[in-house]
Each structure stands twice: as C-alpha cells, then as structure tokens.
Amino acid sequence: MNIRTIDWKNNKIRIIDQTKLPLRLVYINIDRLEDLWQAIKIMQVRGAPALGAVAGLGMYLGIKDYVCSDWSKFSRKLNAVAKYIGSSRPTARNLFWGIERVLAVALANKEQPISKIKQIMLAEAKLIMHQDMVACRKIGAYGAKLLKDNSRVLTICNAGILASIDYGTALGVIYSAQAQGKNIKVFSSETRPLLQGARLSTWELHKQGIDVTLIADNTAAKLMRDGQIDMVITGADRIAANGDTANKIGTFNLAVLAKYHKIPFYVSAPRSTFDLKIKNKAGIKIEIRKPDEITSILFKKDVAPKKARVFNPVFDVTPHQLISGIITDKGIIRMPYSQNIRETLRKE
C-alpha cells in the first residue's frame, strides 16, 4: 500500500481524515489555521510524528498570507501562531518540536525579507516531513533485528503509517521485518475509547498484508499467559530524560503485564519525541479529553448513563524500569536510560 498521511499540495495541507477510517479513505485539504487546529483536536490527524509534521506546516499556514514588512511585527504574529497550534493537544512532544523548529529557522533568518523568511519556513516544514520518512525507516531497520521469523507482537493504538508521514514507528518495525522476509503475527489492541488499534492499525496492517488479529484491550493478559506474545512494541508521545514514556492510555498496563510474564517490552520513537528538559514522568502533561468519548461509542450510541462521572485521560506514562529498550532512529537505547539517551541522541 502506498499512502501518505500528510502532504503539502497546492498551497494546502493535505491529510487523511482518520476519523473516517476504516470505512472510507478520505483526504482533506486544509488552508486555514483554525481548521488545522480543529483537525488536530478532533484527531483527523493524530500520532506524535504526524503531529510534528502538521505543526511545522501549520506554522507556515498561519503566516503565509500575513502582510507585513518588519521583523518585530512578524515575530509577534509567529509567536501567536505557535501558541495557538500548541494549544491543540498537550502531550506529544513532537507537536511542540515541529513548531519550535520552524520558529527557529525564522528567527535565524530575521535579517532576510519577510517573503524570504516565509519560504525558508515552508522549506523547513517540508524537511521535517522528509526526515520523518527517513527516521521511521531507520527505526524499522533497528527494530526488525529484534524480531525472528514467526514472532508474535502485541501493539496498542496506532504507531504506523497513519501516525507519521508514510511508515510508522512500532508498525514500521513490523514492515521492516516483513521486508526482510520474516513472517510476523501482530495482535492489535483495540485501544478504547477512540479505537485507534481497531480502526487504524488493523486497517493499515491488513492493507500491508500483515497477519493481524484484533483483540479487546482486556485480552492482553490472557494472551500473554497463554504464551501467545513474544514481544510488545508501542509508540511514544513524549519520553523524559530518564526514559519514562508517555503513550496511549493502556500502554502502562501492557508494560506491567509484560514484566510479570517476562515478555520484552519495547518503545519506538524518533528523536523528536524525546524531551530532555523533563526529568521524569512527573513533568509530562497528560491530555484529558471529553467524557463522551467513553460514554458513547464514537459519539453515536450511548453506552453509559448520560450523567455518569467520567475520567478520560488519554495517555499514561510507563516508568522506564518496565522498558526493555527504546528503538530510535539512532539505534536501540537500553538501561541506564538517563545516560544512554543523552549519548545516543548526540550521535549524528
């Protein structure tokens, strides 16, 4: 399958509308910053690397038609756009990294005419997309070495093509192993409440010709105890300096279960997901989303009393002690994380 989740086409951001999957593959074009904000918020585009890419493009979208000729006015506008995009979702580090990268090139070129700065910003946003494609393939290549022919892998949420530009991190590892001729069996945890595992991972794995079995989230322990899982591989939204990793709610559960059953638990992420300014899990902001994501199945039919009190954190943090390794585009990082993360990320 040759699909691309995010692109810049005809002066617009082109994305796959992930809320329509798996029923329909629909592309939408975004040329207003408010529409991009909304697309991120309602998760038409989602997944940490994908958020980094659209945030970078969004920085350009937010200023491309802004008419002004002096840097200080332009810079105020840039900061306002950055703040606005950053207010969409809090947890994925990549979103802020994408914003910061494009802001930084604008600042570094502030002596240039504004029209030139705009072009430099667009080029940087396109470079982010290109680098994601390269980084995901490197993650795939490093991670595939961990898998043997006929390995059985459990994953959660969607850390695949749809969470990146065109390859993915956790699922990129599977695609890379498949390209090496290995037969990999994947169990995709449905990922309540928004069902990214069921709607997105199962869809794309199936399209890629991978043997995939969808399970309810509460099936993982039984599968592990029955000896059906050789490895857990997940994506990541933000990784602190000590290796504590935020990812989709339920990831921590899987890490605890994997530890109990002595099954390797791997996280996969590009450099842009690391947040070395944050020491440990205490510094990671977890997004809380609306109750109706839990009380009704994808907003259509009530499955709980209307007045039920709901707690809907959509990410959790897996403590680094439970992580066997972090598969990055620079190699696989192992314990002790505080030291090895810094050393590995320093590599060019």
Binding site for ligand MRU (CB under 6 A): 43, 46-49, 92, 157, 159, 163-164, 169, 196, 235-237, 247-248, 314
Name the residue number minimizing CB distance to ligand MRU: 235
The total of other beta-carbon atoms located within 10 Å of residue 252's CB is 19
In the complex with ligand MRU, the residue whose CB is nearer, 63 or 95, is: 95
Structure tokens at 103: 């802001």
Nearer to ligand MRU, 88 or 324 (CB): 88
CB of 260 to ligand MRU, least distance (A): 22
Query: With contact defined as beta carbons under 8 Å apart, do 186 and 174 qualify?
Result: yes
Tell me how far apart the alpha carbons of residues 96 and 147 are, in angstroms, rounded to a whole number.
32
CA torsion 175→341→232→194, rounded to 10°? -80
Q: How far is CA 44 from CA 1, 38, 188, in A?
A: 20, 8, 20
> How near is the Cβ of 242 to ligand MRU at its closest, in Å?
19
Nearer to ligand MRU, 89 or 118 (CB): 89
> Which of 7, 237, 275, 316 is the catalytic position?
237
Shortest spacing between CB 232 and ligand MRU, in angstroms? 12
In whole angstroms, the minimum distance from the beta carbon of 284 to ligand MRU comes to 13
Specify which residues 111 forms β-bridges with. none
Please name the residues in contact with 203: beta carbons below 8 A apart, sequence gap of 6 or more. 21, 22
Residue 138 structure tokens: 């490197």
Q: Distance between CA atoms of 26 and 323, rounded to whole angstroms?
A: 36
Helix 170-179 and helix 114-144: axis angle, to 10°?
Answer: 60
Antiparallel, parallel or unpaired: β 185-189 and 12-16: unpaired
Q: Least distance from C-beta 113 to ligand MRU, angstroms?
A: 37
Quick count: other Cβ atoms within 10 Å of Cβ 11? 12
3-state secondary structure of 326: strand
Is 137 or 248 the residue whose CB approaches ligand MRU more closely? 248
CB-nearer residue toward ligand MRU: 33 or 139 = 139
Whichever of 44 and 106 has its CB closer to ligand MRU, that residue is 44
Task: Name the minimum Å distance from CB 164 to ligand MRU.
Answer: 6
Helices (H), the chain: 33-41, 48-61, 71-86, 93-108, 114-144, 170-179, 196, 202-207, 220-225, 251-260, 292-295, 337-346
Using alpha carbons, select from 81, 40, 15 the residue that is nearest to residue 287. Answer: 40
Query: Is 237 an active-site residue?
Result: yes
For ligand MRU, which is the closer residue by CB, 204 or 237? 237
What is the nearest approach in angstroms of ligand MRU to the Cβ of residue 49?
5
For the chain, give percent helix, strand, coil, nearest 5.
Answer: 45, 20, 35
CA distance 221 to 213: 15
Residue numbers annotated as active site? 237
